[in-house]
């Protein structure tokens, strides 16, 4: 980052397993593909109900492709469990997730111990009930758990982000 790099605040955060799971689920469910799969699951469930009604009340034989909606429903149910299991596995096997992370917020951007990111280079910023997610790439973010800070610090972080990040890249829970 060029020019003046006046430090605004330094933050030390330690993640927990719940935050990793929540982040993974939010990331998985933010894509168009997962929304389409969920819609396919709901439509398939409705198809199954109609087929079951037709078979039970009218005596119709189930169509040959009756397994397809069953598969889509099961797949739609499996996805969140698969994402959660993957996040738990990442937590269990990635020791760096257990270490305290140090972030520095300056007038020009945010940095960790390895890299500096200018405010304008952040992909997006999302506030959830539990944390601020500063996305440095589409699928990689710095997580700042709110439980690590008091209300005053959380409000300061929110104010800095509102001041530094274009509104099109901000998604706050208001």
Q: What is the pLDDT of residues 136-167, one digit of tens each?
A: 999 899 999 999 999 999 999 999 999 999 99
pTM: 0.76
Q: Find the mean pLDDT for residues 61-79.
A: 73
The pLDDT-based confidence of 79 (bands split at 50, 70, 90) is: confident
Answer for the pair 129, 115: CB distance below 8 angstroms, yes or no.
no
d(CA 9, CA 132): 15
Q: Give the chain's domains with CATH numbers.
A: 7-15+98-171 (2.30.29), 22-93 (no CATH)
> What is the greatest pairwise CA distance in the chain?
77
Q: What is the pLDDT of residues 5-36, one digit of tens each?
A: 677 899 999 999 999 999 998 888 776 767 77
Residue 64 is predicted with a pLDDT of 65
Q: 101 to each of 69, 84, 115, how far by Cα in Å?
A: 45, 23, 13
């Amino acid at each position: 980052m060029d020019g003046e790099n006046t430090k605004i605040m330094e933050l030390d955060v330690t993640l927990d397993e719940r935050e990793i799971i929540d982040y993974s689920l939010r990331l998985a469910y933010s894509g168009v593909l997962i929304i389409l799969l969920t819609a396919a699951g709901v439509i398939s469930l409705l198809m199954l109900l109609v087929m079951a009604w037709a078979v039970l009340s009218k005596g119709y034989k189930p169509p040959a492709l009756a397994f397809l909606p069953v598969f889509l429903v099961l797949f739609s149910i499996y996805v969140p469990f698969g994402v959660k299991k993957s996040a738990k596995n990442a937590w269990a096997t990635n020791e760096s997730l257990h270490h305290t992370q140090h972030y520095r917020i300056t007038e020009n951007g945010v940095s960790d111990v390895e890299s500096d990111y200018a405010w304008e280079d952040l992909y997006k910023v999302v506030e959830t009930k539990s944390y601020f997610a500063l996305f440095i790439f589409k699928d990689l973010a710095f997580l700042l758990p709110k439980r690590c800070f008091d209300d005053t610090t959380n409000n300061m972080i929110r104010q800095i982000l509102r001041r530094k990040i274009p509104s099109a890249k901000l998604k706050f829970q208001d």
